[in-house]
Amino acid sequence: MRDPSAGPRVLLRRLRELMAEPLEPQDRLDRIVRQIAQNMVAEVCSFYVLRSDGVLELYATEGLNPGAVHLAQLKMGQGLVGTIAAGARPLSLSDAQSHPAFTYLPETGEEIYHSFLGVPILRAGRTLGVLVVQNKAQRNYRDDELEALETTAMVLAEMIATGDLKKVTRPGLELDLSRSITVEGDAYSDGIGLGHAVLHEPRIVVTELLNDDIDAELARLEESLDSLRISIDDMLSRRDVSMEGEHRAVLEAYRMFAHDRGWVRKLEEAIRNGLTAEAAVEKVQSDMRARMMHMTDPYLRERLHDFDDLANRLLRQLTGFNAKMQQENFPNSAIIVARAMGAAELLDYDRPKIRGLVLEEGSVTSHVVIVARAMGIPVVGQAAGIVSMTENGDSIISDGDEGQIHLRPVADLQDAYAEKVRFSAKRQEQFRALRAVEPVTRDGTKITLQMNAGLLVDLPQLEESGASGVGLFRTELQFMIASTMPKVEEQERFYRNVLKQSGGKPVTFRALDIGGDKVIPYFRAANEENPALGWRAVRLALDRPGIMRTQLRALLRATAGTELKLMFPMVAEIAEFRAARALISKEVSHLSRFGYDLPRKIQVGAMLEVPSLMWQLDELMVEADFVSVGSNDLFQFTLAADRGNARVSNRFDPLGRTFLRVLRQIVEAADARNTPVTLCGEMAGRPLPAMALLGLGYRSISMSPAAIGPVKSMLLALDVGKLRDVMLPALDDMEATYTVRELLSDFADANGIPL
């Protein structure tokens, strides 16, 4: 009985020999198509490559007119070849000329050939070209012949990707793989980054495509699949994975794919056809992605993401991928490209080398974006499809001002952006010139401008930005970058260093805010359906007082002889604030008993982030020494709009009347009790929303260091009394046809206020 895999194995072995021979690229291509035609008993084999202008050019042929090479061309979607490329799907026909898409190219002489088999040349789901075989007789091609041609196309894809074809590409033309692409996204953090792409979870580059021992490769595949299945089963059986909910559904999808016999059969078939286990996974993954990426059903597209993640896990198992090695090869000007990532994962990278962050998901108030903004990193989010279009090392421009990504930009565009960066640097110099200028509005109202921070590397910007102090120091970042829970002595040294680096300017520490999406690797919290509404921040701290008391002890010891200003996050009821304050009293008593020096003054505040406190404002203003408004979470909970979900977080405007009324109510209650109030959310960091806050009555705001210059420039030109006269009545105008954002923009234009 004939072994259907014998033909492909012989072909791949001969192709490997051809790839190793010292041949000129065109000669190598000519021999490859000749070998494919001979092996498949085809009278024609043609190799088309997709150019950057969307044209498929004939690069080599056996059987058609050789004079048509580099002259015969089809556009994407034109003819049978263009149809295959556009749909990223194979096409098998017994009578090609009767197909409605058939296009006759007289220079090729293909009119005498009837049967046709064509496959897309795919890499990471992207079409790079088309491989075709043809015969004069009308015949139906077998499944094993289709599989053989697809496997061969994978080898040709690597030829294209490695740049071997540049020598035979006509001057002035480029291949699609090197095409310049612009992706529209959302601007999440201002600034422009020029550099080279670093995929956060890089695709494994398979270098060994062809196997020498089928049985050995099948055994490697089975071993890796067993390890993968065990790891997924282990995750599902762990107690911290809830029995229902979104996380479990994703893991169940992983398990379903990992045990799917159809998937495994395709992998085994590719190995029997001559591929290594890694190349088999890449081929099946690429085929699946090409078939599914055109689907519009969001559920099916999400399953494609699940499949991609699982296939990448399997590739890592097979290749022994070393993430540490990737860090060692980190470029000096890196633009990190990711589907999504956590704040802690960003902090793992070498900060001085990061020039930008690009996300397919996330929102402007997700924690990784907040941390990136605090680190002065430009961020573009909602950049659909950017991960699959990017190769590690690609030149890339991340425009955090306009929300655009330019992948493999042309020289003129790079030059234009380099000039833009130089102009931006000059503008920053102008802002720096304002750092010694008192932040006083045109009508004499003094404003306190503070900065948000969370790491020691942030603190030199305190002096550079001209901020009057640190209005929010996120203590959890120290915990997120540590591999074990920091001991009290480590925390004390860290907080002492923070105070030293602040040069005597006030620092407001926020007590540990973990839980939700702020994951600490050594602290296993319960998996929750709605983590943002769950066991996090002060709730977790009161249930696990040992963690809180260790931090309080370190803070009290670090601020001995000075002032400790500490606030508790996520307070929902006054009783929680009182309980947290009682822990401070216990630690003060403990340290006094053992003869430790104490702070000369302790101020304890609450973060107003939970709407329930809106009905406890009077009690809050009496109980707290100060209040800090966390506008990000307060907005999220007030509008029931998940800050990490761009579909809903972008649906509502923080400058809408509803939310501005909430903020006005807070500042009025604080003023009535003479309780200091600061707003430290993302609203404060952009000139237009900051102007709205000043109009509401806020006199202290805290933001990222880079935002202080633009905000100060705005307020120096602002008559805040005039703004209040215009803005406050507009908040209560129920019949208004204009938005508050429009009103503020018009006011700024009319009064020469720079935004």
Residues belonging to the active site: 367, 680
Token reading at 108: 């090729």
**Amino acid letter for position 395:** S
Q: At what angle do helices 277-292 and 143-161 cross, to 10 degrees?
A: 100
Sequence-separated (6 or more) residues with CB below 8 Å from residue 231? 313
Among 339, 337, 351, 355, which Cα is nearest to 407's?
Answer: 337
Return the DSSP state at 750. Answer: H
Name the strand (E) or helix (H) holding 380: strand 379-381
Phi and psi angles of residue 256, each rounded to the nearest 5 degrees, phi first: -60, -45
CA-only gyration radius of the chain, Å: 31
Structural contact between residues 131 and 151, judged by C-beta atoms closer than 8 angstroms = no
Please list, in sequence order, all residues whose beta carbon lies within 8 angstroms of the beta carbon of residue 480, skipping any fewer than 6 positions away.
343, 344, 347, 514, 518, 519, 520
Task: Report which DSSP code applies to 363.
Answer: -
The two three-digit tokens of residue 163, written as one number: 């740049």
Q: Label each residue of 300-355 as H, E or C.
A: HHHHHHHHHHHHHHHHHHHHCCCHHHHHHCCCCCEEEEECCCCHHHHHCCCHHHEE
Three-class DSSP category at 691: helix
Assigned token pair, 87: 């749909």
Write the CB contacts of 260 (distance below 8 Å, at least 6 apart in sequence).
Answer: none
Residues 621-633, buried b or exposed e (16+ Cβ, 10 A)? bebbbbbbbbbbb
C-beta neighbour count of 184 within 10 angstroms = 12
Q: Which two tokens stand for residue 540?
A: 């977790």
The Cβ of residue 480 has, within 10 Å, a number of other Cβ atoms equal to 22
Instruction: Name the one residue in this structure whose structure tokens are 């479990």.
Output: 248
Residue 190 CB neighbour total at 10 angstroms:
20
Residue 338, CB-side half-sphere exposure with 13 Å CA sphere: 17
d(C-alpha 723, C-alpha 239), whole Å: 56
Distance between start and end Cα atoms, the chain: 78
CB neighbourhood size of 243 (10 A): 7
User: β-strand 507-510 against 470-474: which pairing, if any?
Assistant: parallel
Q: Phi-psi bin for 18: left (phi > 0), alpha (psi -120 to 50), beta?
A: alpha
State the Cα–Cα distance between residues 348 and 336, nearest whole angstrom.
Answer: 12
Q: Which residues fall within 8 angstroms of residue 120, CB to CB, at 6 or more apart?
A: 84, 85, 87, 88, 89, 90, 127, 129, 130, 153, 290
Write down the residue that tokens 């911290």 correspond to.
240
Which residue from 183, 163, 186 is spatially nearest to 175, judged by alpha carbons? 163
439, 703 contact by CB (below 8 A): no
Q: How many CB atoms neighbour CB 10 within 10 A?
A: 14
Rounded Cα–Cα distance for residues 244 and 210 (Å): 43
Helices and strands (H and E) in the chain: how many: 28, 22
Give how far Cα 722 sits from Cα of 90, 471, 515, 726, 750, Å. 68, 27, 43, 7, 12
Q: Are 602 and 584 in contact (CB under 8 A)?
A: yes
Distance CA 498, CA 495 (A): 5
Q: In one letter, which amino acid is 639? A: L
Q: Are 660 and 685 in contact (CB under 8 A)?
A: no
